[in-house]
Structure formats: structure tokens, C-alpha cells
Structure 1
Amino acid sequence: MGHRDRVRIALAQMRNRQLTLGAGSEIRGRFLAVGPVHIGRRVLIFRGGEFFGPLTIGDDVFINRDAYIRAGVSIGNRVALGPFVRLITDSHELGDTNQRAMANTSAAITVGDGAWLGAGVTVLPGVSIGAGAVVAAGSVVVADVPPDVLVAGVPARLTKPL
């Protein structure tokens, strides 16, 4: 960042010394960032988000309010996330009737350049969203999404190529 570059962020957010912000980025309102979180240049983040590192967010990204992003996520450049998007990288092994939720497991999520995730989208562990893909509002993504397609539904299914 050069001496004339500006970043706008509420002072209350500066407690996380592992949070890095690129030039021209702006965080509007309160949000939580835990662990190493790298935010690229010209990123706009609205209030209420909870981010857990390691997390990398590219340049020219828009993240609407109340995003929930777990550790192990990589978001490309020019990505748009609608309100209430959930990127969940952790889960549990399934146990027997004595205890169903067993050991914690995790798998990274990747969101490719130029992708758009609509309002209320949930992406589950280990999924890769291809560059230029669009995920319709309310969808639950349980498998990889190819580049330049529209997916929708629960679970998300291919609707059409773009």
C-alpha cells in the first residue's frame, strides 16, 4: 500500500493483527475477523460478517451483509456475495446412535474469479465454484460447480450454461 492509498475501517476492528486490507478497501459496519484474513484491493464488505482465517479475498470483491466465512476459503477477484451467504468448510464424521456428531473434519472452499453467489447461498466443505459461475439465491452447493454456468436449488443443480 502506498502512502496515498486509503482504507476505511471502523477502529473497533483493528484488534486482529492478522487482518490485512488492500488499498481502497472498505468495511461498512461491525464485523468479526479471527485469524489470518487477507483482503485485497478495492473490496467492499457490509456489516455483520464473520470471517475466520486462513481466508484470502481477491481484488474488486463485493460482500453483502452478514456473510459467514469459515477458515480455509479462497475467494478470487471480481466476486460478488449476496447477503447471508455461508461458506462452511467444517463438518463432523457421522457416528452411531450413541453420538452422531463425531470428530471434526474440514475441507477448503474455492470461489473462482467473477463468480456470483446470490442471497442466502450455502456452500459446503470441499466445494470449488468455477470462474464466472452464478449460484442462485437460496441454493445449497454440495458439489463442484463448473465455470460459466448457472446452478440453483437444494442441492444446487445445473440450470444452464452462461
Structure 2
Amino acid sequence: MMRLLIDWLLAWLPLPHTRCFGLRRVLLRRAGISLGDRVWVCGGCRVYGRGELSIGAGTWLSPDTKFHTRRGAAITIGAGCDIGPDCLILTGSHEIGERGARAGQTTTSAVVIGDGCWIGARSTILPGVSIGAGSVIAAGSVVTSDVAENTLVGGVPARLIRALD
């Protein structure tokens, strides 16, 4: 219940998107979110569901980032990451059901984003994905499978563009 109340407060308080970082950190910690030191949470960031969310020190969450969490499937974001605006990170989906109800049985899977990653604007990270440390996800990408460390991926679905040094 506390998480729902805090999510509502964060959504409706007239706070500037790139100010009041300390207040957002306090409220998110009260909601049970694990935040490292110097995590910057911009306005419009929302956490849906009751799953675990852990964000490492020095990470930046741009405006309107959305986390859809499910119990038993944590979202873990490493230290020093930059999550671009309007990103969507999901831990729940569905199996393909029978005719007449294609959204079948609910499935859940954790998401892990390694240290130092940059997730470009409007990217979507699907359940079960692990993104290696130092990787870059190009803007607008849909990440459906694991990403190796120090690589640049992009597209729908995201594919390897090149290795980074």
C-alpha cells in the first residue's frame, strides 16, 4: 500500500523534472526501493508492481522511466548507469495462450543491467534480459535477449552493432 501511495505522490506532486532529487530518493526508499548513494531520479519515473527494484550508486534515471516489477523477479541496475527518457523495463509477460485468449499464463523473469551501462531514450528491456557492464543500448531499441559486456546494440529487436573498447 505504501508503494502505491508514494507512486501516486510522485506522479501528481508538481515537482520540476530535474529538481527535488533528494525528496524523490526519500520517497522511493520509503516505498522499499533500494537506492545507492547519489542516485538521480527525475520526474515522471514510476514503479509499478510489488517486485524488488535495486539501483546502484551514481545512476541517473531520466524523466518518465517506467519499471514494471513482479514479485519473484527483481530489477537490478548497477552503479554509474544512465537510463534515458521514456525507457520501459519489464519483468512480467505472458505465454501465448489458446485461440480466444492469446495472453495466456503470466510469466516473470528478472532483469539485470550491469555497471556503467547507458540505455538510450525510449528503449524497452523485456523480462529475463541481462545487460553486461559498460554496454550501450541505442535509442528506441527493444532488448529481447542478453547483451554482452562492452557492446553497442540497437534496433527492434536489438542486435549487435559493434564491440566497445
What TM-score, normalized to structure 2? 0.78
The equivalent position to 1:134 in structure 2, one of 116, 133, 136, is: 136
Q: Distance in 2 between matches of 1:32 and 1:156?
A: 30
Q: How does 1:1-162 map to 2 (within 5 A)?
A: 26=22, 36-52=32-48, 53-71=51-69, 72-162=74-164
Q: CA deviation at 1:155?
A: 0.4
Contact 2:62 2:86 in 1 (8 A): yes
Equivalent residues, number: 141
Q: Distance in 2 between matches of 1:27 and 1:68?
A: 18
Q: CA deviation at 1:66?
A: 0.5
Deviations 1:93-126 (A, max 9, x none): 1111121111211100000000000000000010
Q: 1:35 to 1:98 in 2, by over 3 A?
A: farther
**Identity of aligned pairs, percent?**
41
Q: Distance in 1 between matches of 2:113 and 2:36?
A: 14
Contact 1:33 1:51 in 2 (8 A): no
Which AA in structure 2 matches 1:60?
G
Contact 2:37 2:58 in 1 (8 A): yes
Runs of 4+ in 1 over 4 A off after TM superposition: 31-35
The answer to which structure has the higher helix fraction is 2
Contact 1:13 1:32 in 2 (8 A): no
Contact 1:32 1:48 in 2 (8 A): no
Contact 1:73 1:110 in 2 (8 A): yes
The answer to which structure has the higher strand fraction is 1
Unmatched runs of 5 consecutive residues or more in structure 1 = 1-9, 15-24
Contact 1:73 1:89 in 2 (8 A): yes
Q: 1:13 to 1:38 in 2, by over 3 A?
A: farther
